[in-house]
Structure 1
């Protein structure tokens, strides 16, 4: 019998705690060693874990016949977020960080707090789900701590445009594959912020896009540094 996921049970709370603690531990290692090589190693490990976890997950679900290819496309927002945070870590580009920040804090964080996941620990799907989602958040916070990256007011506009591009591409994909990527067609089964939206379509999809934009705007204010201390935007 497969273990059932218990929201805010011990395994879930442990995962949330590790997501908070790990980026500070990794950043402390970088601060203590003051070694760019150590920082690159940490970035390499984080990137490898995210990529390998994704590949292994696809292999497992395909080998067990639990999904068809139409349901295995990298079209979830967290799939795109994984790519963006990896690129941001390796390139050190502020614009890539902005997208990773808002998609990670405004989007992926919701998946960690209210996961649409029926499987509990130690099921491999539980481990894979939280490895991918928590890994994105850890990468974003790690960049904020080690490189002092922060989003700017104009970041919201730029990321909004990228998000709208994602919504359009994903909505078309949903219609072609008859699958609910990005939860654009209907609400997830698990309770989340999307549960408060309308049940009717297309009002649900429109309000989904609006609420996602609002989450990005609100996540702008989670920073703990004053604007006067921020480096100038490039």
Structure 2
């Protein structure tokens, strides 16, 4: 059995299949575990562990692009790391390597609001145990877990400015992605049409109105997420000040 080939006849992914439910269970339990043992993780997760996770993400991503190239399916119109989750992955690696707060601020809402949608409704062709299956879910879960780790363990809580920075960051990238889509005949960020399979975008109206709906939803959800974390941030700052 070729676990790295491009033939998907033996690896046809079905949403909410057994393999998908297993992944969802691992993802949810992992997030809960990070919260429940957050105080223990402060002393147990070393700088070396953070760097190791960053390297693993880099290697997985390099392996993915090599796999696409070897199988003749790498295309400039769809294979460049320009999707929001790809950008989130890059930010996740930089955050693990540098621990910079500005990187966390750019990553936080992409991770919390974007990556879970991809995990629950994946635009994925290959099922377990294909390489692409592991690459897709490992990358997306790590984006969320690393963000939760830096939030609950390292105390990098978002602020109102975090939401504003992320919204500005996304809107500065928007014309760039539109230009690349036009020149490469691509559909990055699904700005030209919705994904072929079912997704949450189906609930946001027809093209092009779902783009504007998504923009408004992004702003609202970002502010709601900030409000949820606002009190925790204040408590963290007060406890840090008293130490």
State the TM bucket, normalised to the shorter chain: 0.7 to 0.9
Check 1:219–1:115 CA distance in 2 against 1; reply closer, same or farther (3 A cut): farther
Alignment of 1:179-218 (within 5 A): 179-201=186-208, 203-218=209-224
Task: Give how far 1:167 is off.
Answer: 1.8
TM-score (norm 2): 0.83
Q: Secondary structure at the match of 2:62?
A: helix
Q: Which whole-Å CA distance do the structure 1 matches of 2:76 and 2:188 have between them? A: 13
Q: Which residue of 2 aligns with 1:21?
A: 29
Q: Which whole-Å CA distance do the structure 1 matches of 2:52 and 2:174 have between them? A: 30
Check 1:32–1:62 CA distance in 2 against 1; reply closer, same or farther (3 A cut): closer
Q: Number of matched residues?
A: 229
Superposed CA offset, 1:3-36 (max 9, x none): 222222222122223223346369949836826x
Q: Which whole-Å CA distance do the structure 1 matches of 2:188 and 2:228 have between them? A: 27
Gaps of 5+ in 2: 1-8, 239-243
Displacement over 4 Å in runs of 4+: 25-30
2:121 aligned with 1:111: no
Q: Which residue of 2 aligns with 1:143?
A: 150
Q: Secondary structure at the match of 2:142?
A: helix
Q: Which residue of 1 aligns with 2:10?
A: 2
The alignment's C-alpha RMSD in Å is: 2.5
Q: Which whole-Å CA distance do the structure 1 matches of 2:141 and 2:29 have between them? A: 11
Q: Which residue of 2 aligns with 1:43?
A: 50
Q: Which residue of 2 aligns with 1:34?
A: 43
CA contact (8 A) 1:107 1:212 kept: no
Q: Which whole-Å CA distance do the structure 2 matches of 1:212 and 1:25 have between them? A: 25
2:89 aligned with 1:82: yes
Which stretch has the larger CA shift, 58-67 or 21-30?
Answer: 21-30
Q: Which whole-Å CA distance do the structure 2 matches of 1:229 and 1:183 have between them? A: 39
